[in-house]
Amino acid sequence: MELETYKKAADDDCVEAEIVSGPGAGSEARGGRRERPGSYAPPGPQPANIPFYGLFQRVKTLFTTAMLLISFALIITGLILTSTIIGAIIGVPLMILGGILLWILFKLLTFGQKSSPIIFRRF
């Protein structure tokens, strides 16, 4: 079996690619508005209008980082200590405490938010 080249007949209909505009034109070529990634602002008060918003964000980030580090340190310490029977008596409660801290952290970070579904836009 040999591969034969396909010869197109003169009256054969086909669809050919057409370049409407330059590469990456996307929805701009169809008249749509192009948004920068991350430019979506949820409805509500703008952060600049809330007093001490920047300070609150820094404290929240610092608290979140500290809680994550402490909880993971407790879990890893508990995992290392469980290699012996005596260490397991101390290690298992440390792992449980680290898990509880993670659970509390995620509950605090999601407290007061609406439970609306996340919708991913097609692009």
Domain residue extents for the chain:
68-109
Q: Residue 111: what pLDDT?
A: 81
Cβ 28 vs Cβ 34: under 8 Å:
yes
Q: How far apart are CA 53 and CA 55, in angstroms?
A: 5
Q: Residue 122: what pLDDT?
A: 72
Q: How far apart are CA 38 and CA 122, in angstroms?
A: 15
Kindly state the DSSP code that residue 40 receives in the 8-state scheme: -
Q: Residue 113: what pLDDT?
A: 67
Kindly state the DSSP code that residue 28 receives in the 8-state scheme: G
Q: Which residue's structure tokens are 């929805």?
A: 27
Q: How far apart are CA 55 and CA 41, in angstroms?
A: 20
* Regions in the chain scoring below 70 on pLDDT: 1-10, 12-48, 113-118, 123
| pTM greater than the 0.75 cutoff | no
